[in-house]
Amino acid sequence: MAHRQTPFPKVVVITGGTMGIGRATAIAFAQDGWSVAILARGETRLRSTEAELRTLGAQVLGISCDVTDADAVHAAASRIEAELGPIEAWVNNAMATVLSPAVSVTPADYRRVTEVTYLGQVFGTLAALKLMKTRDRGVIVQVSSGLAIRAAPLQSAYCGAKSAVGGFTDSLRAELIHDKSHVRLVTIYLPAVNTPQFRRARNYTGAGQNAPDPVFDPRACATAIVAAVASPQREIWVGRSTMQMAAIQAIAPGFGDKQAAKMWDAQLDHSISPASPGNLYDVDEDDPGVDGPFSARTKRPGREFVTSRSRNALAAALGVASLFGAAAALAPLAVAVGIGSLKKR
């Protein structure tokens, strides 16, 4: 009897994979049998994450890399392919933010947030695409935010950078369609998530940062990311609050502006001091893991997400229903117009 050869594990790359959503996603892929490569700045967290994933039986490679350095990202991608194998999925998760009124954010801080949160995704995408296009397969996941769709106060640098990711990704998607490429792009929009970043952001408000309800578990986001790679769809919205933000922005953006203005105070916790100067430029060398400070009011992890395929099916159903409704409403008018035209003949 011929021996059945075990296939090599598929390889996923996760930027910002040592904390919060990135760490939860790395664990989820390792549990699913993938080889996992992680790009992040902090050596201590890289080694700790590697050790944790190896206890799950995964092949792991952690590389110290700042995603704003395009050459370093491309070099990391080449090293990953040499040591782990062909990259099948790339998750652009690294981010940075500043909590502050827009006029108080320095030009240097705007530049840094944009470089990490926007250009980091661009450089990661291009590094993955260079390798994936030659094989004509692979999935690139852009981890975005509901704030890219419906921006909030005190988050101008982050909202602007995440919105830019959407424009870049939509343009690239059109190019891949033109080239008849089978490389897939997925954008995932996330709600407020209980991650350690809430105590690490640069903050000029004089108060600590709070996560407005509802707050979701990072593992719910990881579930959506793994599902996006398994069955790529154009967009995925995690959490009802993200879907509500998208709906308000599409239907009544002026009303959305007024509702967003109310989020100023909801984002502040005056009982604690702000993180200063935060991890915008310098990495913390501790290991906070997956969860942030809001576990007591975090929704349990589950499969609460909607894909663009589900949205399109709903829109089509509503469209058909509205057409039938409109036809029923217009039928008497059509008859009257028809009779009137006959009388004129």
Give the list of residues 6+ apart from residue 119 with CB closer than 8 angstroms, or none: 67, 68, 70
Backbone angles phi, psi at 154, to 5 degrees: 70, 5
Asked if 49 contacts 24 with a C-beta cutoff of 8 angstroms, the reply is no
d(CA 83, CA 104): 45
Whose CA is closest to 118, among 162, 74, 156?
162
**Secondary structure of the chain as H, E, C letters:** CCCCCCCCCCEEEEECCCCHHHHHHHHHHHHCCCEEEEEECCHHHHHHHHHHHHCCCCCEEEEECCCCCHHHHHHHHHHHHHHCCCEEEEEECCCCCEEECHHHCCHHHHHHHHHHHHHHHHHHHHHHHHHHHHHCCCEEEEEEEHHHCCCCCCEHHHHHHHHHHHHHHHHHHHHHHHCCCCCEEEEEEECCECCHHHHCCEECCCCEECCCCCEECHHHHHHHHHHHHHCCCCEEEECHHHHHHHHHHHHCHHHHHHHHHCHHHHCEECCCCCCCCCCCCCCCCCCCCCCCCCHHHEECCCCCEEEHHHHHHHHHHHHHHHHHHHHHHHHHHHHHHHHHHHHHC
Q: Is 163 a catalytic residue?
A: no
Active site residue: 118, 162, 189, 241, which one? 162
Q: For residue 99, count other CB atoms closer than 10 A to its CB.
A: 25
Active site residue: 144, 145, 156, 241, which one? 144
Active site residue: 118, 158, 189, 241, which one? 158
Q: Is 64 a catalytic residue?
A: no
Q: Is 341 a catalytic residue?
A: no
- So which residues are the catalytic ones? 144, 158, 162
